[in-house]
């Protein structure tokens, strides 16, 4: 069974020969800590993990990135505006003005290289005029939206033996990127027509991008980033989710599944118990990361929602950090869902630096045993 077959069989409640091994990945500070704790400095952490555990990842054909660019074009200039008292005031590539510690630089706001806390000062869309200017940066036919060799990449991807994924921002995530969290929440109440216009625009833009991709190749998975929950509650009400977000999900799911994309995966941190029903109504069939610290109980979710939705991640990062019997008990807790199918277990977010290298190796060995690799 190829890695692609195994991935699809697992998340679609099929009959995989074993479950994909996906322990989770470290950020920059975690890798630095691991090198002080026994990970050699001159090796790739994942290669060394496989060597330590005593099995090898299955070889695949060279992986192809399609290169479709869903981001704004042109991007804003990344620059530091001020530096004092151990902090930078910076403008990021999205046009936000924010404050970060000077142990980082503005590039940390572009990619999730580490856990970089920030304080938002000003966001690029505060009113209708700002929005009209922002829309100009999302021309689906803008130069650079697709690489020059896009069709060749798609042809190569058709021969894949690994799962092909496309990642996008959901409507809540994207509107928050433009307006900021507080700004978006006020806009939903005080300027609902502007919020609705922004959500509709994003829906159409993403749909147009999908149309251009699907005419050449059909991905196995579309991953929608949509962080929209706190520790115990969603950030906005189910009523607002159905008004502002569900139309996007329904439109995209219908389009993708009509062309044969089997997995629509929606990711949100925080407590998602009151959100999952809306995702299921919309046709979403996988979600992650099922953060345990946010009061998510994957076993309770399986009892409540059955096989209407599958899961990825879901292993309590705090238990991995404690190690020993604590992580053994944690893996025992999720075992019923693993056995029932539709679940690829792994760390329930990026692997933080309080998880030591020895404890990560021990957890990974237990996970490899649980998923059939050892």
How remote is the C-alpha of 184 from its chain's centroid? 21
Q: What is the mean pLDDT of the chain?
A: 96
How many C-beta atoms lie closer than 10 Å to residue 137's C-beta? 16
Task: DSSP letter for 37, please.
Answer: T
Which helix (DSSP H) or strand (DSSP E) does residue 281 occupy? helix 276-282
Q: Supply the pLDDT for residue 302.
A: 98
Contact predicate 123/95, CB 8 Å: yes
Q: What is the pLDDT of residues 33-48, one digit of tens each?
A: 999 999 999 999 999 9
Please provide the distance, in angstroms rounded to a whole number, between the alpha carbons at the two ends of the chain: 17
| Count of residues making up the chain | 374
Q: Supply the pLDDT for residue 374.
A: 97
Contact predicate 241/275, CB 8 Å: yes
Token pair 């991007």 is found at: 75
* pTM confidence score: 0.95
- Closest by alpha carbon to 256, among 207, 302, 299, 297? 207
Contact predicate 150/66, CB 8 Å: yes
Domain ranges of the chain: 3-70+127-370, 77-123
Q: Supply the pLDDT for residue 252.
A: 98
Q: What is the pLDDT of residues 270-294, one digit of tens each?
A: 999 999 999 999 999 999 999 999 9
Q: Supply the pLDDT for residue 112.
A: 81
Task: DSSP letter for 309, please.
Answer: S
CA distance 188 to 39: 48
In a 13 Å sphere around the CA of 254, the CA atoms on its Cβ side amount to 10
Q: Supply the pLDDT for residue 111.
A: 84
CA distance 92 to 89: 10
Q: Supply the pLDDT for residue 115.
A: 86
Residues 6+ apart with CB under 8 A from 119: 98, 99, 100
Q: What is the pLDDT of residues 301-319, one digit of tens each?
A: 999 999 999 999 999 999 9
Token pair 């979600």 is found at: 287
Mean pLDDT of 59-85: 95
Q: Supply the pLDDT for residue 264.
A: 98
CA distance 324 to 53: 17
Q: Does pLDDT of 121 surpass 90?
A: yes
Which top CATH class is 3-70+127-370? alpha beta
49 phi/psi in degrees, rounded to 5: -65, -45
Q: What is the pLDDT of residues 152-161, one digit of tens each?
A: 999 999 999 9
């Amino acid at each position: 069974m190829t890695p692609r077959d195994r991935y699809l069989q697992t998340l679609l409640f099929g009959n995989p020969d074993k479950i994909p091994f996906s322990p989770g990945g470290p950020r920059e500070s975690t890798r630095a800590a691991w090198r002080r704790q026994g990970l050699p400095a001159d090796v790739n952490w994942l290669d060394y993990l496989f060597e330590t555990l005593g099995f090898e990842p299955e070889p695949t054909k060279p992986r192809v990135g399609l290169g479709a660019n869903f981001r704004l074009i042109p991007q804003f200039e990344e620059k530091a505006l001020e530096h004092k008292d151990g902090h930078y005031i910076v403008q990021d590539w999205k046009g936000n003005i924010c404050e970060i510690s000077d142990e980082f630089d503005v590039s940390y706001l572009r990619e999730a290289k580490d856990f970089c806390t920030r304080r938002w000062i000003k966001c690029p869309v505060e009113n209708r005029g700002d929005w009209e200017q922002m829309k100009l940066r999302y021309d689906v036919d803008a130069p650079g939206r697709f690489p020059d060799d896009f069709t060749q990449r798609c042809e190569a991807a058709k021969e894949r033996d690994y799962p092909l994924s496309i990642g996008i921002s959901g409507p809540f995530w994207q509107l928050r990127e433009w307006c900021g969290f507080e700004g978006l929440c006020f806009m939903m109440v005080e300027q609902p027509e502007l919020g609705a216009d922004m959500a509709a625009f994003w829906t159409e833009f993403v749909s147009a991008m999908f149309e251009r991709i699907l005419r050449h190749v059909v991905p196995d998975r579309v991953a929608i980033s949509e962080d929209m929950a706190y520790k115990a509650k969603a950030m906005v009400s189910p009523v607002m989710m159905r008004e502002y977000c569900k139309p996007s999900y329904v439109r995209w799911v219908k389009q993708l599944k009509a062309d044969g994309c089997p997995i629509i995966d929606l990711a949100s941190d925080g407590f998602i118990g009151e959100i999952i029903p809306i995702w299921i109504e919309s046709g979403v069939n996988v979600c992650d990361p099922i953060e345990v610290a946010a009061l998510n109980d994957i076993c309770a979710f399986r009892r409540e929602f059955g096989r209407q939705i599958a899961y990825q991640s879901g292993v309590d990062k705090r238990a991995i950090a404690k190690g020993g019997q604590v992580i053994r008990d944690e893996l025992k807790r999720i075992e019923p869902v693993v056995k029932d199918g539709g679940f690829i277990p792994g760390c329930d977010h990026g692997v933080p630096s309080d998880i030591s290298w020895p404890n990560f190796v021990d957890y990974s060995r237990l996970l490899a045993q649980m998923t059939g690799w050892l």
